[in-house]
Amino acid sequence: MGNNIITLDTASPHAPDAKILIIYTGGTFGMGFSKNRILEPYNFKNILDEIPSLKSYNLIIKVYSFDIPIDSSNVSPADWVKLCIILKDHYDEFDGFVILHGTDTMAYTASALSFALNNLMKPVVFTGAQLPISAPRTDARENLLTAIEIAASKNEDGHPLVPEVCVYFNNNLIRGNRAKKVESMHFDAFESENYPILAKSGVVIDYNFPYIKCWKSSDQFTIDKSWETKVGYLKLFPGITNNFVENVLKSDIKGLVLETFGSGNAMTDANFLSMISEVIANGLVIFNVSQCLGGRVIQGKYKTSKGLKDAGVISGKDITSEAAITKLMYLLSKSLGNDILKIQLSQSLKGELTD
């Protein structure tokens, strides 16, 4: 399987309950202190020294490390494709996958993979850490151990309990395309404001089954590799000038996520609305998401959003901005035509919004 895969020495590799592949991309989790107390990429061959309890699992656990670990701030669609290819290449061999990823863009990557993995019926659990694995008070150990348990969990029929892309962090399991990073200094880094958490970890892992994707027999697992990067993101604010908005709208983009006030509201300035109408008539797709962490876009509820609706702006409902931009990149790459594209933007494809 390649030189960058190692097998961990666990309790019973010959009669395992499950086979798990950990994919290490980079990020805080995998940093260790050198002899000079300088943080540098961690050698996962030594992970059992940091987390000896991994030895007690009745699992086959293997680790795939990126040749060059990447800071999540440098993650690009090319890295999403690389992850998809790794999952496709090893999909049949493993029962579940844990992806170690930097927290800054984890919600983007989890959202992207939720769209790009077709007929996924196995757990893909993203996790990471706010402190390096070598730090005394690190959250890396608990996050990794529980993520592995979730990825390995099955029901009485032998089917995975959580057959979808998700994020596990600080005791909470969140649907991947509903996750948002909300904290940089505390361990509770991720929240899901508009969708219930999938599980809560305590003495036991309490699964919220009504909100977890159900396992079902499906067609062959496939991946998508194309992403349209000619997209933009515009956050409205009091005092934003029409000249600035025009420069964004008329730049070389095919789609725009427009982050509006409250339940999807924007200025009623005639020139602003005229610009919006013009670029939409010329083929630009605009996707309306709220600046609020919770709630949803309801275009037309107030006069301040009726103009956007009349212009042809698509409501993002309760989608996160991370899921909105990755969904736009995903659908634009398919050359669907604007009518079909707009329908699919407004519908739930992978549980990313509430219809």
Last residue of a domain, one of 223, 252, 282: 223
pLDDT for res 35: 62
351 within a domain of the structure (yes/no): no
Residue 2: per-residue pLDDT: 47
Bridge partners of 191, per DSSP, are 180
Alpha helices in the chain (DSSP H): 47-50, 77-90, 106-116, 140-152, 242-249, 270-281, 303-311, 321-332, 338-346
Confidence grade of residue 33 (pLDDT, cut at 50, 70, 90): low
- pLDDT at position 22 over 80: yes
Distance (Å, rounded) from C-alpha 92 to C-alpha 281? 46
The CATH number of the domain where 305 resides is what?
3.40.50.40
Residues 334 and 191 reside in one and the same domain: no
Residue 352 lies in a domain: no
What does the pLDDT look like over 123-172, one tens digit per residue? 999 999 888 777 778 888 899 999 999 999 999 999 999 999 999 999 99
**With contact defined as beta carbons under 8 Å apart, do 318 and 296 qualify?**
yes
254 and 208 together in one domain: no
Residue 221 has pLDDT above 70, yes or no: yes
Q: Looking at residue 303, what is its pLDDT? A: 87
Final residue in a domain of this structure, among 223, 258, 279: 223
- Number of structural domains in the chain: 2
Question: Amino acid identity of 230?
Answer: K
101 touches 124 (CB < 8 A): no
Distance CA 176, CA 153 (A): 18
Position 3 pLDDT exceeds 60: no
Q: Which residue in 58, 122, 45 sits closest to 87, CA to CA?
A: 122
At residue 62 the predicted structure's pLDDT band, cuts being 50, 70 and 90, is very high
- 195, 190, 279: which is closest to 234 by C-alpha? 279
User: In this structure, are 142 and 206 located in the same domain?
Assistant: yes
How far lies 14's CA from each of 131, 145, 307, in Å? 34, 21, 64
Q: For the chain, what is the mean pLDDT? A: 92
Nearest alpha carbon to residue 234 among 213, 249, 220, 212: 249
**Which residues are catalytic, by number?**
28
Tokens of 328: 């736009």
pLDDT band of residue 39 (cuts 50, 70, 90) is low
pLDDT at 133: 75
Q: Based on the domain organization, do 200 and 248 belong to the same domain?
A: no
Residues 149 and 238 in one domain: no
Residues 145 and 198 in one domain: yes
- Checking if the pLDDT of 43 tops 70, the result is no
Judgement on whether residues 262 and 132 belong to the same structural domain of the protein: no
Comparing 332 with 71, which gets the higher pLDDT? 332
Q: Which helix (H) or strand (E) holds 40?
A: strand 39-41
| Sheet arrangement for strand 199-201 | 5-7, 59-65, 18-24, 96-100, 124-127, 165-169, 172-175, 199-201, 205-207
Q: In the chain, pLDDT over 70 holds for what percent of residues?
A: 94
Domain residue limits at 297? 231-346
What's residue 273's pLDDT? 96
Q: Are residues 167 and 305 in the same domain?
A: no
Instruction: Give the three-class secondary structure for 197.
Output: coil
| DSSP symbol at 333 | T
pLDDT tens column, 189-218: 899 999 999 999 999 999 999 999 999 887
Please tell me which residue, 180 or 138, carries the higher pLDDT value: 180
Contacts of residue 352, defined as CB under 8 A and 6 or more positions apart, other chains included, come to 111, 114, 115, 177, 178, 319, 320, 323, 327
Mean pLDDT for 63-91 is 94
Whether residue 195 is found in the same domain as residue 255: no
Average pLDDT of span 17-37: 79
Query: CATH number, domain at 100?
Result: 3.40.50.1170
Q: Give pLDDT tens digits for 314-352.
A: 999 999 999 999 999 999 999 899 999 999 999 999 999
Banded pLDDT at 175 (limits 50, 70, 90): very high
Q: Does the pLDDT value for residue 297 go beyond 60?
A: yes
Between 49-53, 54-58, 221-225, the lowest mean confidence (pLDDT) is in: 49-53
End-to-end CA distance of the chain: 42
**Given pLDDT bands bounded at 50, 70 and 90, which one contains residue 38?**
low
pLDDT at 1: 43
Residue 133 lies in a domain: yes
